[in-house]
Chains A and B, each alone.
Chain A
């Protein structure tokens, strides 16, 4: 649905986006992650045809953003980083206006606007002045304007900024519901949001793609070695050498904090939990707890951004 090929954007002498290549299939939700100034917004602006790329090509639904901008724009719903609102307009007339210039047929405008108002929870404020709405409501109006023409591709730049928790949940559900027949790209700083909504993640750093994977694969990256936390009721001196003797175990350390707590590191390709359990039971160490330690998404993210091999 979306194909970006070697996209670059140079401002002055600085490449803000530098050779970004990715593709998004129909029905996918791609999450853009990256620190401030990484180039997420710029990449999205290229895809929506707002700024042309310096190098590279981007295609949306088979149309090139430079050669067929109108065809691309017909198929896109876009929520920019700063919601594009006319502060002096009322909510409903504003949405009517956007529907018109998005090319919604005249007879469908009312029903589409009604639906967008309902989906974004704007019923109560539909007759209010946009400039006087709270930040969260303005964000919702921005979101409503992006979805009201039921676009094939939805591009959302930090869609849940400024929303309250219950609205965030509703909006995430809305985005997920959208993904069935539509394609969504969203950028965010909230890592949990990626876990909850996205099928795939693209981590951008300093204009380049630092990682591009499904969530499971990304999580597995942190696991070239597996780490297992153990807690034993009656540890003996033999614990350390015996554990180390198990095939696949790389290191065993006694957790200095906990009483009878141990940390076992093993080869990522091998699950040694069963052997450990059998050994502990056989030796009568009194196995109280055994739990795999996984890296959190935050840790993986920070490692990737710093360029550490996770």
Chain B
């Protein structure tokens, strides 16, 4: 644990002694602040125009009109900005030769991977934490239901950590930081859009697919052709599907489990990738 934290802490110091942390946090706050401001202005204009009509007034809700779009856009920005952080996590160690220090110290690969991940997670936390000032502004003037905001933040944080895990995994596979960044970006996008085809393949069941692959043996073995469809599977993998509920303020453990397993799997695979690289 001490080793993991030492690596994480060193990583954090590096972020904050280089422009990286300031640029990433600054740009993130600037753009999400702008979106927040824009939707807040629109909301207050609507309130002014329809404020005396009780029917419309009931439809106007600060959580739906300001907070939820804020989380939606933050999700997109994370998609764009996390590759810039994750690309260097392991690729940089390899390039500067410091990997030779880490892997000849009495540390396990898992400790190194976890330490690097936690360091980057701290930066993510600072990015997201900075935006908490926006809801605080609303809170100082009004009294909205807080639960959607808190749940939304949990969702954003989990999504960011999942992206980071995937990014670290890709960073472990290459020494080239550009390749690591583009690869991470592609992987995130894929995770977001993979459910787009869900509708189209909703009639294909998984067991049917296995049946075809096994040349009919599946059916003969009496395993059945019903069950979940390929479309369901794609929906289950998709990050988009799992983030929606959080932004609505609905806390569902299934989604939390999903994110935690993505994080765990990517860190586990990172450890395997590093171990296997030694043998080349």
Contacts and interface: CB of A to CB of B under 8 A. Distances in A.
A52 interface: yes
Contacts of A71: 106
B14 A97 contact: no
Contact of A101 (B6, B97, B100, B279): B6
A48 B102 CA distance: 11
Contact of B7 (A52, A83, A85, A101): A101
Contacts of A45: 100
A52 B279 contact: yes
B196 to A, nearest CB: 42
A80 B278 contact: no
A278 interface: no
Given A73-B104, A93-B13, A86 B6 contact: no
Residue among A76, A78, A87, A100 facing the most chain B CB atoms (10 A cut-off): A100
A11 B279 CA distance: 9
A87 B99 CA distance: 14
Contacts of A93: 13
Contact of B96 (A49, A87, A97): A87
A86 B17 CA distance: 12
B contacts with A: majority SS? helix
Contacts of B103: 49-50
Contacts of B97: 80, 82-85
A45 B6 CA distance: 24
B254 interface: no
Contacts of A50: 100, 103-104, 278
A146 to B, nearest CB: 10
A48 B98 contact: no
A133 interface: no
Contacts of B3: 100-101, 103
B53 interface: no
B10 interface: yes
Nearest to B112: A101
Interface in A44-71: 45, 48-52, 70-71
A192 to B, nearest CB: 27
A93 B14 CA distance: 11
A103 B107 CA distance: 9
Interface of A: 11, 45, 48-52, 70-71, 73-74, 76, 78, 80, 82-89, 93, 97-98, 100-103, 145
Given A73-B104, A97-B10, A98-B105, 9 more contacts: A50-B104, A70-B107, A74-B106, A80-B97, A85-B96, A89-B13, A101-B7, A101-B105, A102-B105
Interface of B: 2-3, 6-7, 10, 13-14, 17-18, 96-108, 278-280
